[in-house]
Amino acid sequence: MTLPIIDADAHVVEPFSLWRERMPARFHDRVWRREVGADGRETLYHDGRPLSVEWTTGTLSTPGAVQEGGRLDIDIDTEVDEGVRDPHRRLALMDEQGIAASVLFPSMMLGLADVHDVELQVAYARAYNSWIAEFCSVDPVRLLWGGVLPTADLAVAAEVAAECIGRGARTVMVPPILDAAKTSLADRALDPLYALLQEAGVPLVVHAVNPANSCLDIAGHLRGRIQWQMGYSFQAQLATLHVLESGLLDRFPGLRIGFFEGDLGWVPHWFERLQATFAKMALVSRRLAEPVRETFRRQCVISADMNDPLLAETVRYLGADRVLFASDWPHHDGTWPDPIVAVRDHPALTDAQRREILVHAPAAFFGLDVADLARRSGAAVDAPMAGVPPLLPHGRGPAIAGASVRR
């Protein structure tokens, strides 16, 4: 028997068909589209234009696919687990993976802030939210979802957040920078959204996005995929800076915020540097009521790659109750070769810290009943850590095993 592990940040891969099925006809020539030529090559279209991407949608949707031994041409239709888009298969897969509950976020809609047409952005958000709500209705105890918000119009974003909460969303998601106008998380225009979330007791997730997204405006500084990938942690640093420096959490003491998929080893240095900077700039800054670290601990959590080389140091700094387990499944750049094993076998974490990260911290953040979840999933809160199985016992999954790396 295993623990009732809660995956705080997992993903679906939206079917391309849903955009035409759920969005107004006037947008059909601009929505996400996938075509496969006679030679088997995939081309993606967005806003009517073809995209240049080194890998396929199937590769994006396969853990470890861009690492040595992976492939860049995995087919989404025939070589990727149906659990990325089918709720019944997802539940069966979670049973295989030892996951009691998954909080699901999108793939394509992670780039929603890069859609500059406000009406199109709103239509995308409502289409996705209606689809994922239906997906999770198959088992609303184990399949949980985060709504996406059209942040190009913050008044409408608050309306969409209310719709999501009414449909049963466990959280709503925004990017680290809200839009191409560089609206930050501390902007007072977000106050109606924060007031709504605080009153409803629903947390906000600040989820990292494609570093090339125009809302960040850092793409011009990133040359090649290595620099591009390093752009994830920068986003989270900027987002936490805006929240902690601004006094936002003092204005909304009941608001909970999670910072997801932006790494975490930087936290001790960044927070202590911010603390020292408040002292250095005391005559031109606001006075802190408490240390920066304590403000974060009071209302925030963080989740990232479980292979982060400074995971244990960050756990010691923040406390295990502030660090949430996440697999990022099925994305290629999630923890590889196995996120559960990375926590279960971490030599510098105690048994109590492992249980907090895997179970209790995500349950507290999302307001889940661990005992009920254990009953529903056939898990046990007191199961021995040594018996916890790996998340990825079959490695990359259905993608052709043993194929040569294609570059």
Q: Which residue has the tokens 């999933």?
A: 377
The residues that bridge with 35 in the sheet, in sequence order, are: 43
**pLDDT by position in tens, the chain (length 407):** 789 999 999 999 999 999 999 999 999 999 999 999 998 899 999 988 999 889 999 999 999 999 999 999 999 999 999 999 999 999 999 999 999 999 999 999 999 999 999 999 999 999 999 999 999 999 999 999 999 999 999 999 999 999 999 999 999 999 999 988 899 999 999 999 999 999 999 999 999 999 888 888 888 888 888 998 888 999 999 999 999 999 999 999 999 999 999 999 999 999 999 999 999 999 999 999 999 999 999 999 999 999 999 999 999 999 999 999 999 999 999 999 999 999 999 999 999 999 999 999 999 999 999 999 999 999 999 999 999 999 988 777 665 443 333 32
Angle at 112 between CA 161 and CA 141, to 5 degrees: 50
The residues, ordered by sequence, that sit 6+ positions from 198 with a Cβ below 8 Å of its Cβ are 252, 254, 255
Q: Check: CB of residue 80 under 8 Å from CB of residue 398.
A: yes
Alpha-helix residue ranges (DSSP H) falling in 23-153: 57-60, 87-97, 118-136
> Residue 175's closest CA among 159, 151, 157?
151
5-32 as b/e: b if 16+ CB within 10 A:
bbbbbbbbbbbbebbeebbeeebeebbb
Q: Extract the tokens encoding 331.
A: 């994305």
The dihedral through the CA atoms of 237, 243, 247, 250 has a sign that is negative
Cα(93)–Cα(142) distance, rounded to whole angstroms?
A: 12
**Domains of the chain and any CATH numbers:** 5-11+87-377 (3.20.20.140)
Cα(374)–Cα(104) distance, rounded to whole angstroms?
A: 19
> Residue 328's closest CA among 6, 3, 8?
8
> Residue 103's closest CA among 118, 90, 92?
90
Label residue 302 left, alpha or beta by phi (over 0 means left) and psi (-120 to 50 means alpha).
Answer: beta
Residue 106 to residues 9, 101, 160, 364, 388: CA-CA distances in angstroms? 10, 16, 16, 22, 27
